[in-house]
Structure 1
Amino acid sequence: MSLDLGHHGDTEVGPGLIDLAVNVRHEPMPPWLAQPLMSSLSDLKAYPQAEKATAAVALRHGRVSEEVLLTAGAAQGFVLLAQALRGANHPVVVHPQFTEPEAALLNAGHVVDRVLLREEDGFRLKKEDVPDDADLVFVGNPTNPTSVLHPAAEIAALARPGRVLVVDEAFSDTTFREGVAGEPESLASRRDLPGLVVLRSLTKTWGLAGLRIGYLLGPADLLKRLAAAQPLWAVSTPALAAALACASPTAIAAEREIARRLAADRAHLLRRLGEVPKVTVAGAPASAFVSVRLQGADKIRLELRERGYAVRRGDTFPGLGADWLRLAVRDTATTDAFVETLTAVIEEQA
C-alpha cells in the first residue's frame, strides 16, 4: 500500500484547535535565546558566517568543528545524505519512524528496503533485524512516532566499516532518566564508531520549527561530502544565533530541567490513558509524544477534531495503520481535558 510519506502533524492543526499533533514545545522563549535572535536581525545585510556556531556545537558534543555540519532544520540533513550517498547499494530505513528519511531517499532515486519493528516486541530494535549487507541505515532514537528509546549499545552494534549508520536524535534532548546527567542512550559524542552520523534538531524543545535549524555529527570526511551537496549559506544568520545560544551551558541545563518536567507530564498522560477503555500505548514512551492503538482511530480522530483537538493520524507511518494515533505530551490540565473528551468519544462510538 502506498503511504503519504509527506504528511506531517502540522497538517492536522487548524484555527481554534488544541494542538496535540505537533511535537514542538509550547512555551515562551527564554531571554537568553530571544535576545541573540533579536540582535541577529541587525546583521542581515551580511552573509551568514557559521564558524562560531559550528565550534560551539562541536564543543557541546566533545568534537572538532570538522565533525559538525549545521543544516536548515534536521530534515535538510536527510536530503543531503540521500543526495550525497547515491552510490549506496542497499539503503534501509527502520520503521515505524519519521517518514522524511525514506521520502528523501526515494526522491534521490534510491530503492529503499524497510525493516518493520513489531508491536509485540514493544517496537524495540534488535540488531539482527537489519540486513548484514545494508550499507546505509536510518534509525530514530528516540523514535518518532512510537517514542521508544533504544539502548545505545544495540544501535552502536549496527556500525561497521563500509556502512553509513544514520541515527535520528531529533528528540534526544526530550529524554530523561533519573540519575543520568545527560541524554540517556545518545550517541552524539561517539567518535569511535565507523560511519556513524547523528542528526540533531533544535526546533522541538525551543519552539523554533519556523526558524529551521539542526545539525549533523559524524566523520569529517563524510560531512565534507554532505556539505558539498548543501546550498551556499544554507543556514540563516538568526538560525546560527540560535545554534550558538542553544549550545551554551545555560541552554543545556535548561534542557535537562525541561526534560525532567516533561517526563512527569508524560507519566501523567500514560496514567490517564491507562484509564481509557480499549486504548493500547505503543512500547515504553520516552519522548515528547506517545502513540496509541484503538479501534476506529481514523473516525475518532475526526470526532476529536470536531470537539477541538488536533491529533496526528498514524496510518501514514509504515508499520502502523488506521487504528493508530500519535499524541503530543502537554501539561496535566490539557491532558486531563483531552482524556475526558477521548473517553466520551470512544464510549459514544462503541
Structure 2
Amino acid sequence: MTGPALSAPRTGPGAGEVDLRHHGDAEVRGAALTDLAVNVRAGTPPAWLKAEIAASLDGLAAYPDGRAARRAVAVRHGLPERRVLLTAGAAEAFVLLARAVRARRPVVVHPQFTEPEAALRDAGYTVGRVLLAERDGFRLDPAAVPDDADLVVVGNPTNPTSVLHPAAALASLARPGRTLVVDEAFMDAVPGERESLAGRVGALPGLVVLRSLTKTWGLAGLRIGYVLADEGTVAELERAQPLWPVSSPALVAAEACCAPTALAEAAAAAEEIAADRAHLLARLGAFPEVAVAGPAAGPFVLVRLPGAAAVRAGLRTRGFAVRRGDTFPGLGPEWLRLAVRDRATTDRFVAALADVLGAAPR
C-alpha cells in the first residue's frame, strides 16, 4: 500500500486553508430542505426517549448528578466506572484532551472530523497531519504515523470517508508514552460494533475512546457523549472540566440509551442503516461520473464528482442539502458527503441528482 502523506497544517487564513469550523448543520440551518448533510439518524429521538427526557424536567432545580449515568455507561462497555467520563458531546471531549494531555508532537489522521485539530490549535499546538489517499481507499497504514507522535487522533468509522479501520491496525498504534485517541462517534451505527476498541480501554497503553449518543439517538441539541480511558487520563480530563458539565436531561438520556432494550434498538437500527446504505450505493452506481469512496461502513458515504459545488447548489434548488467536502483536510472541491436515509428518500434524491447532472441514471 502506498503510504499516506505527513504534512504540517498551513497557518492563518491564507489561500488554501480549510475552514475547520464548518459543519454539516450550516448546510440546513434556516432552510426547508431534506437533510442529507447532517449525520444524525432521521426520525429521532424515539418517543420513549423523549418521554424519559421530558420526565427529567421536574428535577431541574437540583444540580446534575451523573453517578447513575456513569455507572450505566460502564456496565454497557464492561469497564470500571473510574474509566468513564461523561461529556457535553464528543466535541467537549476534544477540548478537554487538548487542554489536559501534554504532547510534543500531536498528529491527526485526515480526512476526518475537524474538531480535534481545531481544539488542539486553539490550545496552542502545531498539529501534524497524516493525509490518507483516495488511491488507498482512505485506509490507514499504521506505518504512516510518525514514531515520535505522542498524541494520535483517528476516527473509526471515519467521518467523512465512512471507512472502518481494522481494530488490530489501530491497536498497533498504542504504545507507552503515546495517547491514542479513537473517535468512535459512529461505531454504534456499525452492525455488531465490529472493530471497536472500547473493550480494550485500560489494556492498551494510552488508549482513549470517544463515544457520542447524539448520532444514533438524535440528541445533537442535548449534547451528550463520553470518554473511555485509563483512570489517570479520566482524572486529568475531569480536572479540566467545569463543574456540572452535563445537564440532568442529558444524564437521563445517557442512562436510558445504555439500557438493554435501547442497545437492542440501536443494533436493529445499525442493520437497517446498512441495508439503506447498500440501496444508496446501488443507486449511485448508475452514475458513471460519481465515484464512491469506500467500502463505506458508516451512516454516510463520501462521493467525488466533477463540478461538485455546482451540483450541491443545484440539489439545494431541488430541496436537498448535502455536505461539502472541501472543508476536510485532504479533500477538495470535488467531494460531497451524503447521509444515509430511508429508501424512499434516497430514490427522491437520486431523481434530483439525475436532474442536476442532466441525464437519467443508466
Mark yes or no: TM-score above 0.5. yes
Partner amino acid for 1:287?
G
Unmatched tracts of structure 1, length 5 or more: 177-181
Task: Report matched runs for 1:73-152 at 5 Å.
Answer: 73-85=89-101, 87-152=102-167
Aligned to 2:81: 65
* Structure 1 residues 180-220: Cα deviation after superposition (integer angstroms, max 9, x where no partner): xx311001111310000000000001100000000000101
Unmatched tracts of structure 2, length 5 or more: 1-15
* Structure 1 residues 112-157: Cα deviation after superposition (integer angstroms, max 9, x where no partner): 0000001011001111010000000000000000000000000000
Aligned to 1:186: 196
Given that 1:32 and 1:245 are in contact with CA atoms closer than 8 Å, whether structure 2 keeps it comes out as no
CA RMSD of aligned residues (A): 0.9
1:204 aligns with 2:220: no
TM-score, normalised to structure 1, is 0.96
| Aligned equivalents of 2:249, 2:284: Cα separation in 1 | 40
| Aligned equivalents of 2:348, 2:144: Cα separation in 1 | 40
| Aligned equivalents of 1:256, 1:151: Cα separation in 2 | 20
| Aligned equivalents of 1:137, 1:216: Cα separation in 2 | 16
CA pair 137-38 structure 1, distance change in 2 beyond 3 A: same
Partner amino acid for 1:249?
P
| Aligned equivalents of 2:356, 2:48: Cα separation in 1 | 43
Partner amino acid for 1:248?
A
**How many residue pairs were aligned?**
342
Aligned to 1:179: none
Task: Report matched runs for 1:10-25 at 5 Å.
Answer: 10-13=25-28, 14-25=30-41
Secondary structure of the 1:37 match is helix
Given that 1:195 and 1:219 are in contact with CA atoms closer than 8 Å, whether structure 2 keeps it comes out as yes
Task: Report matched runs for 1:324-343 at 5 Å.
Answer: 324-343=335-354
Match of 2:171 among 131, 156, 170: 156
| Aligned equivalents of 1:193, 1:134: Cα separation in 2 | 17
| Aligned equivalents of 1:278, 1:233: Cα separation in 2 | 50
1:298 aligns with 2:309: yes
| Aligned equivalents of 1:26, 1:269: Cα separation in 2 | 15
Secondary structure of the 1:304 match is helix
| Displacement after TM superposition at 1:30 (Å) | 3.0
| Aligned equivalents of 2:31, 2:315: Cα separation in 1 | 14
* Structure 1 residues 75-113: Cα deviation after superposition (integer angstroms, max 9, x where no partner): 00000000112x300000000000000000000000100
| Displacement after TM superposition at 1:337 (Å) | 1.0
1:6 aligns with 2:21: yes
| Displacement after TM superposition at 1:28 (Å) | 4.3
| Aligned equivalents of 2:22, 2:45: Cα separation in 1 | 27
* Structure 1 residues 213-247: Cα deviation after superposition (integer angstroms, max 9, x where no partner): 00000101011000111110000000000000011
Given that 2:45 and 2:219 are in contact with CA atoms closer than 8 Å, whether structure 1 keeps it comes out as no
Partner amino acid for 2:45?
M
1:56 aligns with 2:67: no
Given that 1:91 and 1:136 are in contact with CA atoms closer than 8 Å, whether structure 2 keeps it comes out as yes
Task: Report matched runs for 1:241-320 at 5 Å.
Answer: 241-320=252-331
Secondary structure of the 2:74 match is helix
Partner amino acid for 1:304?
L
| Displacement after TM superposition at 1:46 (Å) | 0.4
Given that 2:70 and 2:85 are in contact with CA atoms closer than 8 Å, whether structure 1 keeps it comes out as yes
| Displacement after TM superposition at 1:32 (Å) | 3.7
| Displacement after TM superposition at 1:347 (Å) | 2.4
Given that 1:202 and 1:243 are in contact with CA atoms closer than 8 Å, whether structure 2 keeps it comes out as yes
Match of 1:171 among 186, 189, 193: 186
* Percent identity of equivalent pairs: 65
TM-score, normalised to structure 2, is 0.93
| Aligned equivalents of 1:294, 1:240: Cα separation in 2 | 42
| Aligned equivalents of 1:277, 1:31: Cα separation in 2 | 41
Secondary structure of the 2:216 match is coil
Given that 1:277 and 1:343 are in contact with CA atoms closer than 8 Å, whether structure 2 keeps it comes out as no
| Displacement after TM superposition at 1:31 (Å) | 4.2
| Displacement after TM superposition at 1:275 (Å) | 0.3
| Displacement after TM superposition at 1:276 (Å) | 1.3
Partner amino acid for 2:310?
K
| Aligned equivalents of 1:224, 1:15: Cα separation in 2 | 42
| Aligned equivalents of 1:79, 1:16: Cα separation in 2 | 32
